[in-house]
Amino acid sequence: MNAENRADMGFANLDLDRKRRSGFAEVVFCQGKDDHFLQDIFKRLCEANGEVMGTRAAPSQYQAVQSVLPEATYDSVSRIIKIEKKDKPRIGNIAVCTAGTADIPVAEEAAQTAEFFGSYAERIYDVGVSGIHRLLSRTDALNRANCIIAIAGMEGALASVIGGLVSVPVIAVPTSVGYGASLHGLSALLTMINSCANGISVVNIDNGYGAGYIATQINRLAEKGKTNG
């Protein structure tokens, strides 16, 4: 990588060329980072890209970033800090579904990641299999989507049910929601990996960001196909 495409800050080596290569600018994983490091990283990425997003941020980290970038905003549900370009167009449709309300923090990380990268996200929350009529009443919304993110803890059955109802890819996100035998999301992860429904891919436990990223890639391809078709 050429020197002009990176910023070696000593404690961080920022990839300023990532958006050109992959279509997505670098995003900051905030958890565990020193406040002063975050301040400098956010400032440099915002300078390079005109916007910046950070995930898994604590309120105190947001306060540190906002002290040097007053335009930064924070969402306490998703734990996302961001500075975003105004009036950004959003394309396509990604359905973001949760089994329960306790899964919403992970869902918001997914939905807001997709939105930051230019996708439209439709939220379909609290439609788990314990009251499956709630999901079945939203099949029209599911069928409008270019892809679906299915987020569930407990036994993680939501992804399999959705996978059997739709013709588009389903990205399954296990969450650490549940009682003891859920093993902090491991039970849901194993259920999703072993799903007999086709068209399901699985990301790591609580990885809403990863799901939003992949969903955006799929959504972009779907919209590109419609334009070329």
Domain that holds residue 146: 91-228
What confidence category does residue 95 fall into, taking pLDDT thresholds of 50, 70 and 90? Answer: very high
**221 is a domain residue:** yes
**1 is a domain residue:** no
Same domain, 123 and 197: yes
Across the chain, mean pLDDT equals 93
Statement: residue 1 has pLDDT above 50: no
**pLDDT tens track for 117-176:** 999 999 999 999 999 999 999 999 999 999 999 999 999 999 999 999 999 999 999 999
**2 is a domain residue:** no
Same domain, 70 and 167: no
Q: C-alpha distances in angstroms, 180 versus 129, 155, 183, 187, 193?
A: 20, 12, 6, 10, 20
Q: C-alpha distances in angstroms, 91 versus 66, 127, 182, 225?
A: 29, 25, 36, 13
User: Which H helix or E strand runs over 225?
Assistant: helix 208-228
What confidence category does residue 96 fall into, taking pLDDT thresholds of 50, 70 and 90? Answer: very high
Helix, strand, coil in percent for the chain, rounding step 5: 45, 20, 35
Same domain, 108 and 188: yes
Same domain, 73 and 114: no
Same domain, 37 and 98: no
Average pLDDT over residues 199-221: 97
Q: C-alpha distances in angstroms, 136 versus 124, 145, 220?
A: 11, 15, 27
CATH code for the domain in which residue 186 is found: 3.40.50.1970
Same domain, 195 and 106: yes
Task: State percent of the chain over pLDDT 70.
Answer: 97
Asked whether 189 and 62 are in contact (CB, 8 A), the reply is no
Same domain, 107 and 220: yes
Collapse the DSSP code of 80 into the 3-class scheme (helix H, G, I; strand E, B; otherwise coil) and give the result. strand
Asked whether 125 and 98 are in contact (CB, 8 A), the reply is yes
Joined tokens for residue 48: 């390079």
Q: Which of 29, 52, 83 is the last residue of a domain?
A: 83
Domain count, the chain: 2
Q: Which of 83, 100, 134 is the last residue of a domain?
A: 83
Q: How far is residue 46's CA from residue 41's CA, in Å, rounded to a whole number?
A: 8
Say how many Å lie between the first and final Cα of the chain, rounded: 36
